[in-house]
């Protein structure tokens, strides 16, 4: 789960840098035996927020019911990209607090480096 959140943060930041939002979230898994599966989910509204990307990808991962399966690779991507301005207009009535927070974190990272701001869930356990 932690790695999925880390991937969601990276993908969301790239989306915001490119001023685009994604309509589809793509999850890729490769098992220890090199079998690869891909799952995707199309969202009702496009997003560039890590929180939503993580929520959707975690739901897809849960649906796979991976108990005692060795995973060699996990990947997260997006597709069906639209201009970010258009996606914000579509979602005017939605709660944008996470989006505001993530854009503020982007500003801090741009100014002070990638490690300037991180989610508590991504901090080491020690």
Let me know if residue 10 belongs to a domain. Answer: yes
Reported pTM: 0.76
On whether residue 33 sits in a domain, the answer given is yes
Asked if residue 34 belongs to a domain, the reply is yes
- The pLDDT value recorded for residue 104 is 78
pLDDT for res 2: 87
pLDDT tens series, the chain, 126 aa: 789 999 999 999 999 999 999 999 999 999 999 999 999 999 999 999 999 999 999 999 999 887 788 889 999 999 999 998 866 555 554 567 777 777 777 777 778 877 777 767 676 777
pLDDT on residue 125? 74
- Residue numbers of the domain that contains 8: 2-88
Task: Report if residue 54 sits inside a domain.
Answer: yes
Number of domains within the chain? 1
**Does 83 reside within a domain?**
yes
Residue 107 resides in a domain = no
How many CB atoms neighbour CB 11 within 10 A? 22
Q: Is residue 19 part of a domain?
A: yes
Task: Please indicate, yes or no, if residue 99 is contained in any of the structural domains.
Answer: no
CATH number, domain with residue 72: 3.30.1490.100
pLDDT recorded at residue 123:
66
Nearest alpha carbon to residue 71 among 27, 109, 21, 10: 27
């Amino acid at each position: 789960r932690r790695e999925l959140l880390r991937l969601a943060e990276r993908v969301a930041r790239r989306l915001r840098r490119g001023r685009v939002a994604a309509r589809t979230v793509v999850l890729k898994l490769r098992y220890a035996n090199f079998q690869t599966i891909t799952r995707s989910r199309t969202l009702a509204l496009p997003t560039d927020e890590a929180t939503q990307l993580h929520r959707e990808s975690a739901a897809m991962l849960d649906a796979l019911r991976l108990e005692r399966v060795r995973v060699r690779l996990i990947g997260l991507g997006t597709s069906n990209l639209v201009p970010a301005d258009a996606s914000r207009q579509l979602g005017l009535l939605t709660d944008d607090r996470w989006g505001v927070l993530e854009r503020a974190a982007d500003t801090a990272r741009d100014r002070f480096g990638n490690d300037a701001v991180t989610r508590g869930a991504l901090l080491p356990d020690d």
